[in-house]
Structure 1
């Protein structure tokens, strides 16, 4: 059963800010209410034009995806719409993938991540941003949670929809292979090793990779 909290109720709570928003990005905060922790994504602080054409549109799509993935183990449950600018999902405690984690925990987490990715794809959803380790949380048990579906897409189970999913899901799988190669190379299959080497070669010639690094360097300086 979904719990809905309005803006006035939210404003009376003290949040823990996870990602501070700005004119072009939503704010992500954690709220404690009735003994439960919620993660709230809120685009109300964005520049009005960007909020209208990007913020609300992206969030409405993300809400639709969370609803589509309801009940999938390893995906935060949708908790409700705050207003036209904000929504809440279950907050999940966990750590990002890191070599600081015990090897057996990493191996278990990566195995579970593959299962979660497969379950997401079975619902007709592709995440499309799983190369970012911040989007995968590892629990103390070795279970994982996949978060942040802002870049995600979903398709119907029609023949065309299944075809598109089959083409796009390789991007999510590439994220899994990247994590295995970085944190647990011993569990890579021969096929995954070949795929990882091929992706490394292709990335050198992919123009948007170089553009992204150039832009990040500008802002870093």
Structure 2
């Protein structure tokens, strides 16, 4: 039973991430897109999938991963998320610099642009804080508050950005992925709050590393 449960959880996660990618790959809109634009678009879809994985790792919800391996995976996937965002933004910059300038200056007429830019800067801020955490001498509580606060911005910005974009992503699979991202984030934040009240040591060990 345990093996079946582990297999089911990992299969569900794989489907949640891969089905939107596969659906986007089958979109007829790709016929009118250049290779760099397509690469940038899929980098954005992958980034959204990685945003789902991160709270699952930090909450310890993925079976078969020891606490240490889960933390290491969280760090590495965070770095991969930064790379995916850079590819997403860089590809869009190459294909349409004026549109990207408008987006970065929050003057774009498209409603999804500011949400994506806000999420992007929050992702970069978390990565920078993580890299300089020890050098800055951040206390565990300060790091936890900063990390969680920025995570909320990342999730909210990414979900709204993704839902507002009308592109190659199929609507139902995109909505399901966004709902899972929100649900996983709310779940881990609620659980960490409970741990801080009743068993703070475990929560602090998870977030400090």
TM-score exceeds 0.5: no
TM-score by length of 2: 0.30
From the two aligned structures, give the one with the greater strand fraction.
1
From the two aligned structures, give the one with the greater helix fraction.
2
